[in-house]
Amino acid sequence: MTLTGPNGPEGGAPLMMTISVFSEQTGLRPKTLRYYEEIGLLVPNVRAANGYRQYEDNQIESALLIHSLRQADVGIADIRRFMAGDWSEQDQLLQRWREEAEARMLSLQIARQFLQGFHPRTRHLRLVRWEKPKKIAWFPLPKEMGTSIARMFDPNNGLIDRLALSGGATIRTCYVHYEETQGRFDGKIGYEMLGDKEPLLGRTTVTKHPQTLFVAIECNPDRSAPCQPVFASIRECGFEPVGTLLRQYSAERKDRYTLLIPVMLQTPS
């Protein structure tokens, strides 16, 4: 049943609709409309004496917008802020939603690419993604430290104790990479920095790493894994190795390290 004001729709009074009529006009199920009312997103403007909901015709646009945002996987709290916000806040929310949607699409593309190229022979490969940028303080790798994981996490190794005084570092994880200099390979050891302070040690390089996708392989410190077969397997999974390889060491695992190979999605040729 459709109700109108005393002058009808053309007389300026709002057109009133029961939930069933409003459901027909919007294409939203009564169950969905009741849910939106329950959480306070879309409340009928009028409650008749008999308790029936009565919506105004000007609520149709709001109902369709709310439902469209829900279909776009926007959260209830964000929709509530959007509906109550001014133009500036709405623009900011839209920009964030677009960025989040792009990130979800990239994640799906990565998953699709990996699964299409994955087979039992490459089960030793896995994906690791740094969701947030990291700041890492790098030092020359002391020769006496070598590949001793225990020494890497020794609080008295001359690195960690100084880092702790200059803003802190995560000492449960560290990274090692090697650079070729004049025909020899020099090692660097890095600890992720916390806070904004710079480390106190000399000969220190602080690098900022953006969000990065890696293919990760568990390795034995006493054995060197051949790179070419690994790179071939990575390419079979639809990724292209790029950038510097990192060895990730953990204080909890003294017998293994994780080889992190930065990759990007292959572009169609």
Q: Count of residues for the chain?
A: 269
Domains of the chain in start order, with CATH, are: 2-84 (1.10.1660.10), 120-265 (3.20.80.10)
CB contact burial 66-102 (16+ within 10 A = b; e otherwise): bbebbeeebeeeebeebeeeeeeeeeebeeebeeeee
Please name the residue that has the structure tokens 């709290």: 77
Residue 169 in contact with residue 137, Cβ under 8 Å? yes
Q: Minimum mean pLDDT among 22-26, 168-172, 252-256, 263-267: which range? A: 168-172
pTM over cut 0.75: no
For residue 47, pLDDT beyond 80: no
For the stretch 167-191, pLDDT in tens is 555 567 788 887 766 656 678 888 8
Instruction: Could you list the beta-strand ranges (E) of the chain.
Output: 2-3, 16-18, 46-47, 53-56, 126-130, 134-140, 169-181, 184-193, 205-209, 212-219, 239-241, 246-250, 253-265
Q: According to the model, what pLDDT value does residue 42 have?
A: 93
**pLDDT on residue 65:** 95
Cα separation, 126 vs 136, whole angstroms: 23
In terms of pLDDT, which residue wins out, 90 or 250? Answer: 90
Encode 27-79 in three state secondary structure.
CCCHHHHHHHHHCCCCCCCEECCCCCEEEEHHHHHHHHHHHHHHHCCCCHHHH
- Predicted confidence at residue 225, as pLDDT, reads 55
pLDDT tens-digit profile of 126-173?
888 888 888 888 888 777 666 666 667 776 666 666 555 455 555 677
